[in-house]
Amino acid sequence: MPKGGYLNLLIHGFRMDFRINFISKFFGLFFCFFFFQNFNSQTKEEKLNIQREAQRLFRTDVKKSIKLYEYLLENSDGQELQKYEIGMVKLKLLNSENIEAIDLMFQLEQELLAIKNPDLHNQFHQLESEVFYYFGFKKVSDSIHKLSDSDSKKENKNNTNYLFNIPAELKVNPSSEKVSSRMIDAEPIERKLNQNIGLFTKAKYLAQLRQYYGSKNNQLQYMLYDKQLLDLQGLHLHQLKISRNYLVSKFSKLKQQRIEKVQNRIKKWSFGLSIIFIGMIGLVLYYPKNDKETIKKKSQVISDKAELRILEKLKDFENSEKFLDDSITITILAKHLDTNVKYLSTVLNNQKQKSFNLYINELRIQYITERLKNDKKFRSYKISYLATVCGFTSHSSFTSFFKSIVGITASAYINKLNQEDDL
């Protein structure tokens, strides 16, 4: 029986087991990580080698090159996949699979819309520009080319020359280029012709054979290969024509789809904004009513006692001539009456049916008319002085208020008083 009993043993045993378990798991994870890293670098290297091999075969055996790229595509995902897809578009064009290349290019465009990778975007713009150039749309190509940054433009210019030049043998205007290189023996080339080769390679071989038999003065053989080359050129021109139609149609549709997306977004925004406009219009139209109603509601909130108290204090204020102070505001008056602005405003609106400004200015005009009536000395003062005496800071506001309350101007009122006295 161990010291501490079975329980102790159990705990010790568990701890021991936990340590072993932890160590084994830690090392296991470490080895897994190491293996994965190693495996990852191995696959990366393998893929790089395959890509190099595929690029080496671009010109000589495009079909094999496509198969290698297919392997790369199958074993890649994410942005790596898109990088290989860009290469695949070029290869398909080299193998005269124009429609497939165009489809892949536009599919790629859709995929790239969701990714924020400037490098990949540049590569794609470069590819799109090259494709349009290849099909003879130089202006569109130029406008797309402007979208990619200057570094990738320089970098890819070489690729353009390498990948997308239609072989001189198929061109309808090969004047500036040498049609084909020297050839020693026709037999191996004739054997290659029977193999599964791309259109561009076939054109090269046919041109070599034509040149060979031309140099040997073998008219029949020369004619045979010339005719085959003419037919191939015709086929190539026809493929170009069909592909141009397809490219233009697809490009136009995608552009229209993009426009429609923008249109839908605009519609949603317009709808939202229109609702906001309508809401604001409603608010503006509803506001005055609402304001009156709130005042009424608020007036109900003030108790009768409080209202009476404010009214009493207002009476005192009216008798005190404090309204002659030109710095008085509703806040100052409310403070003076031991109430708040809202209460004071409500009482003035309900009991006097006046705004604060009207209330104060009426008191002032009332004061000055009384003084003019009772004190003749006042009648000889200038209007601006009278305005200052009764608390107006502006001469013009005094005269217009005087007229609106009394019905005549201040000077006319003075004249009238003088006339009455003379009588």
Partner 1 sequence: MIYKNTYITILFLIFCFGIKVPAQNNSKLELRKAYDLLYEDPQKAISLANVIIRKTKNHDEIVTGYVIIINGYSALNQSDNALSSAFKALDMVQDEKDQISKIRILGLIGEQFQLCHFNDESRFYLDQAQIIIEKLKISPDQKSIYSGNIDAIKGNSYKDDLDCNFAIEYYNKSIKSYASIKNNTSATNNLCLVYIEKADCLIEQSRLDSASIYIAKAQKIADRFSLKGYKLSAQYAEAKILSRNKKYAESTVLLVDILNNLEKLEDLHFRQDIEELLVNNYFNLNDYAKYQIYSNDLKKSRKMIESMHSRSNEESLKFILKNNKKPRFPSYFFVGFAAFCLLLLVFSIAKIKWNLKGNYFYK
Residues that bind partner 1 (CB under 8 A): 136-140, 172-173, 219-220, 222-223, 226-227, 230-231, 233-235, 237-238, 241-242, 244-246, 248-249, 251-252, 255-256, 259, 262-263, 266-267, 270-271, 273-274, 277-278, 280-281, 284-285, 326, 355, 357-358, 361, 391-394, 397-398, 401
Rg (CA), the chain: 48
Q: Are 348 and 356 in contact (CB under 8 A)?
A: yes
Nearest approach, Cβ of 392 to partner 1 (angstroms)? 5
Q: Cα–chain-centroid distance for residue 34?
A: 42
Alpha carbons 61 and 66: distance in angstroms, whole number? 9
Nearest approach, Cβ of 173 to partner 1 (angstroms)? 5
Nearest approach, Cβ of 423 to partner 1 (angstroms)? 35
Nearer to partner 1, 137 or 343 (CB): 137
Alpha carbons 311 and 308: distance in angstroms, whole number? 5
Alpha carbons 301 and 308: distance in angstroms, whole number? 14
Nearest approach, Cβ of 191 to partner 1 (angstroms)? 23
Residue at 384: amino acid letter: S
Nearer to partner 1, 151 or 260 (CB): 260
Nearer to partner 1, 249 or 294 (CB): 249
Nearer to partner 1, 173 or 380 (CB): 173
Nearest approach, Cβ of 284 to partner 1 (angstroms)? 6
Nearest approach, Cβ of 417 to partner 1 (angstroms)? 24
Alpha carbons 345 and 342: distance in angstroms, whole number? 5
Nearest approach, Cβ of 187 to partner 1 (angstroms)? 23
Nearer to partner 1, 25 or 255 (CB): 255
Residue 47, burial from CB neighbour count under 10 angstroms (0-12, 13-18, 19+): middle
Residue 130, burial from CB neighbour count under 10 angstroms (0-12, 13-18, 19+): buried
Nearer to partner 1, 8 or 397 (CB): 397
Render 331-392 in DSSP notation, one character per residue.
Answer: HHHHHHTTS-HHHHHHHIIIII---HHHHHHHHHHHHHHHHHHH-HHHHTS-HHHHHHHTT-
The Cβ of residue 201 has, within 10 Å, a number of other Cβ atoms equal to 20
Nearer to partner 1, 40 or 256 (CB): 256
Q: Enumerate helices (H) and strands (E) in the chain, giving the number of each.
A: 18, 0
Q: Are 406 and 368 in contact (CB under 8 A)?
A: no
Nearest approach, Cβ of 146 to partner 1 (angstroms)? 16
Nearer to partner 1, 193 or 358 (CB): 358
Q: What angle do CA 124, 125, 130 make, to 5 degrees?
A: 95
